[in-house]
Structure 1
């Protein structure tokens, strides 16, 4: 519109060259253009305001619809929640009644469990008491057997075995009151082991070994062995010579000039006599038989030979070992066990002191 306004204005008068007249331009009419421009702006603002108001109303209507839908949804949700709360309240009431009944049942079960525990403890006490009584009876019997075995037969090995069995029986008892008895049993076992008594089976094996070694012992070189005799020429002499041998010696027929075979037989018999004395627990006869066997071996065989020296050394070892050494006196553990059993029996029989209710 501004361009149109400018077009309506008269064009300025051009001055021709050579002309001296100057015609002034006509001034533009500005008041009408401004009014027109103001009207246009007002119309644009009004159109914009109308459009904005219309859009605002439409958006308000839409938002109102959305809000109504939301309100309806919230109302329905509120109703649903209310129904659920009522249901939860009913369930909670049912759960409280069930919990109350369960609590009562639990209390009753606790009482019954306490009664069962008391009964089981009573039974366990009776079982332990019976087992301890059996273990103590066994230990006392074994200790008494060990004492009598040592007193009658001087058998320290059997006594040690019985003492160890008694210690095992006391270990099975759960009452710590008898721990001191086990210590006393250990001390008496150590005293029995320190006695170093002669054991039967190893000694019998050693004597049997000595008898077997006598066959291979070398004889003396001074005529103790049978003299060499020329074989007889006649058949009768050869047959008769197998049973009878005739020889001559200038010396007296003493023990030192006996035949080596006879000496071996006598030494073997002396070792047999030592075995018999060992079975009979005769220490003097055992030592005497070993001394006789040693004298025969020394007189008939070469003492410079290593085999003979070994045999003599073994005989000396057996003779030096006491068959019945000085054994300790037993009975301390047995007496202590009996005293403790009597003490425990008395403590269980004494009733507890009655408290005075008037205090």
Structure 2
């Protein structure tokens, strides 16, 4: 008689279903845990970006305040320049009156004509000294002194020989000053601003081309190229645009400080420019050279180192008083 094989009871199927259910629960738990970690990382990144945006907004507010202050200072300087312009116009009108007096007194004695011409020379020397002392205007001072020398050359008087020699020495000193410290510093700042566009956007690969590369780098060279990434690689498009706008604003503040001759404000603006440049471009020899130029520019003097040139004016007044 054939034996009937024992049938598998429902307990084996129940155990199998329980194992399947347990595996599904474990997979669901693992997926839930991974999703929660991803959400937490996303929330942390959003919070970090929000803090950076708030800090940038605060910085922009501070810059707007500084810009408003600089604008007020520039308006004040413009008002002072208008006052100086009015004074120069008044001096020009006085010069015109002197020329009219010379024209009316041409037929009079030689001494009267000489006195008027010396008054014109004195006026020109005063104008040149004031432009040099108040506004550091070297070109204006040179023109005034050149006009004074031309008037003195028209006076054929041996007594004025020493005055001509002193005036020639002062004109030589003015020529040696060149464009002046402010104009030279402004030209160097413009050169630095123009070089910003030529800075490399990628950090140089390696420092010594002749040094052998590691074995792992030679093995992976056909597949992977390793390059160091600076902080600028983490900037998004909007962040980089805001940083570049901030850099241009700081350069404008530096130029305004140069126009005013404010060395402290210039140093602060150049320090902020250096920080912005380090944030926008990776480290490279060109960047270090440009940073050195900015550091050197912070130490440049903005005022004339030569003494105020008034020896000719004092000698002219002394000679006229002695003649009287």
TM-score, normalised by the number of residues in structure 1: 0.45
Q: Which structure's relative contact order is higher, taking Cα pairs within 8 Å and 6+ residues apart? A: 2
Structure with the greater alpha carbon radius of gyration: 1
Q: TM-score, normalised by structure 2?
A: 0.49
* Higher fraction of helix: 2
